Chains A and B, each alone.
Chain A
Amino acid sequence: MSTETVVADKGAPLVEMHDISIAFGGIKAVDHASIDLHPGEVVGLLGHNGAGKSTLIKVLSGAYKRDSGTIRIDGKDADISNPRDAKAFGIETIYQTLALADNVDATANLYLGRELRTRWGTLDDIAMEAECRKVMGRLNPNFRRFKEPVKSLSGGQRQSVAIARAIHFNARILIMDEPTAALGPQETAQVGELIKQLKAQGIGIFLISHDIHDVFDLADRLTVMKNGRVVGTAHVKDVTKDEVLGMIILGKVPPGATPGPGAIA
């Protein structure tokens, strides 16, 4: 199946994932899905459990290698086959599971894979901790437990460590997979504020969520997936929550949305 790239509606897209497919043991987790993202834009990715949203996004973050399809960053073909490649393109991910190394402290997690080193080549723990204190001071001023393994931190504290790690290294593309799943109402509101700040800095954000209200509050556009296929994409202001529910549950595309390969005729 080969379709022409959908023409972007404002400037060059930051990310274009085109015609992506990936299968696990004969099950097509993602089936010819296309999605794009512009600078300073939040795109919500909706769908049931197993709809393929996390898998699609893990192709972008390098956790999975796609079977077919192309990824373009700034209009150029990007070869992403592992998380290191993705980070080199400025793609940072906050995973649903938070993906922290539980037995080391916040500083070690913040710098995991990008440690600061002294001129002798050894770990510069003090400099890293100093930097970590600065970052966490901005994100979560109440955070004090720098010396403890992150295992012993609360859900919100772990979340701030995960977010700090994603935004500290000049991310241009941020993937947030259920960023508020583990959080209380106050912390959820904080994440919402943070998304608005990052957006204002021109960072593009993919927001994966079960929660349709979150997406309507924070996203500019939304894409709905079902059974590994894209049902449709729409501007948030062009569709109602009920229509989006129809897309998620039935795969029925309302007039305000652009249908994808997963839409029922």
Chain B
Amino acid sequence: MAEQSSTGGPAASNEGPISRLIRAAEIDTRMLGMLAAMLVIWVGFDVISSILRPGGGGLFGGSFLTSRNLWILLVQTSVIAVMTTGMVLVIVLRQIDLSVGSMLSIVAVATGVLQVFDLGPLLGVGHPAIWIIAVVFAILLGAAIGAFNGILIAYGQIPSFIVTLGGLIAFSGAAFLIASGVTVAPMDKTFKLIGGNGPAASIGPLWSWALAAIACIGIGVAIVAGRRRRLKFSFKAKPVWAEVLSVVVGCAAVLGTTAVVNSYLYPPRVAERFALDNNIPIPPGVEDKSGLAICQAADKVVSCVDGLTFQTGYPIPVLIMLAVGLVMTFVARRTRFGRYIFATGGNPEAAELAGINTKRLTVTVFTLMGALVGISAIIASARLDAATTALGTLNELYVIAAAVIGGTSLAGGIGTIYGAILGALLMQSLQSGMALLNVDSAYTNIVVGIVLVLAVFVDQIYRRRVK
């Protein structure tokens, strides 16, 4: 409703069966386009990699569409995706935040220093409270910096471009000073799990299926409840088949993703460590020259732990990304705060005249952006197991690019959370796909840049045609 809408409009009488279907089911055609682009990119990488390096085990014989690569792709996407959900709201409000990369650095470094140099000696290394204090600190520090930006923009009436450009430069300098120019490591062992490293950082197959089941039931309940309410006010509801289709497609997506993350097995060495830690017997074998236990199978030598087949399931950073996506979608679509952001982005003067406190709204949105940067800083430093000043470098550009590829209009008022997350996934797919093909990162940057401009160009044409 408040977000970009492909529904409604005077019904064209000469539409074909497909467009009738799309209209009846109220499908966002723009999202379909993005999914199609993603499919082309994924299949393309898998096919090309199968030609260059056959036997990757992917869906088309390459090394892109393997459960391992897709699992890693999701983890890699999470840092940018979490931030981009906030950037959507910032851009919808007709503002911009160029400082998120430097903000990520400063939060990561400050949180790293706190746990390594302050909490470690104070509470004892590995104390169970350390990670909780660090997480709360990171989110609050991010929110505070965001609020500072927001106050300068709303009450100081300095353009957000300038305030956050200043922040981009200043925060990275401050991060360098806090870290005294060194890499802060290692992180607390529980904190580290948030980055998705190691067996304990994933929830395992059982919990993954349980979550998937809950998500499926949730989709069904939401659609039935929405339908009931519409009928209660005797509005025209979607046809039943369209509702059923929504549930089936939504559920299939959830179950499919779960099947993929569950079919990624721990690498042998990690599995071995996991087995040892959890007193799971490893089949007897002899150590090979790398020190890895190997077993005699019927006719060939295999890693003993291959036989154990530990499935990873959803890694924690991906769960965080999904949770943030859900919460932010709820905020954008179902709350007054979200409605005000979209209305203000559409016409700031009208929003002000309607009695909306647009200044306070601006501060809140930037504070929220900062808190999300805090979450991303936790994931990024936990994943690296270190905090460095360079951690957030260029992140602001990727975050903005993801939001824009995902259909957020820089003119304000238009954008969706799921679109931005898909945008982040699409961009990460390009980057990791080309890394997989051993393409020089210079070329990768060129391609990502071109895709950004192309995405906006295609979007413009699409919007003009819809109009």
Contacts and interface: CB of A to CB of B under 8 A. Distances in A.
Interface string B353-370: 111110000000000000
Given A101-B342, A148-B5, A126 B233 contact: yes
Nearest to A115: B336
Given A83-B355, A126-B233, A126-B235, A101 B334 contact: no
A61 B354 CA distance: 10
A48 interface: no
Interface stretch (B96-104, B174-182, B343-351, B438-446): B343-351
B347 A102 contact: yes
A147 B2 CA distance: 10
Contact of B346 (A103, A113, A152): A103
B425 to A, nearest CB: 26
Interface string B231-275: 011010000000000000000000000000000000000000000
Interface string B331-343: 0011110010011
B355 A102 contact: no
A83 B352 CA distance: 8
A112 B413 contact: no
A117 interface: yes
Contacts of A97: 349-350
Given A99-B347, A113-B354, A148-B5, A123 B336 contact: yes
A105 B7 CA distance: 12
B8 A99 contact: no
A101 B347 CA distance: 5
B307 to A, nearest CB: 50
Contacts of B334: 122-123
A98 B353 CA distance: 10
Nearest to A150: B346
Nearest to A82: B355
B412 to A, nearest CB: 8
A100 B346 CA distance: 9
B1 interface: yes
A104 B1 contact: yes
B230 A126 contact: yes
B229 interface: yes
A6 to B, nearest CB: 30
Given A93-B353, A123-B336, A126-B230, A101 B343 contact: yes
Contacts of A139: none
A125 B1 contact: yes
The 6 closest A-B pairs by CB, nearest first: A103-B346, A101-B343, A103-B413, A147-B8, A113-B355, A99-B350
28 contacts: A63-B353, A83-B353, A83-B355, A84-B357, A87-B355, A100-B350, A101-B343, A101-B344, A101-B351, A101-B354, A102-B347, A102-B413, A103-B345, A103-B347, A103-B414, A104-B1, A108-B339, A112-B339, A112-B343, A123-B336, A125-B1, A129-B233, A130-B233, A145-B8, A147-B7, A148-B8, A151-B346, A152-B9
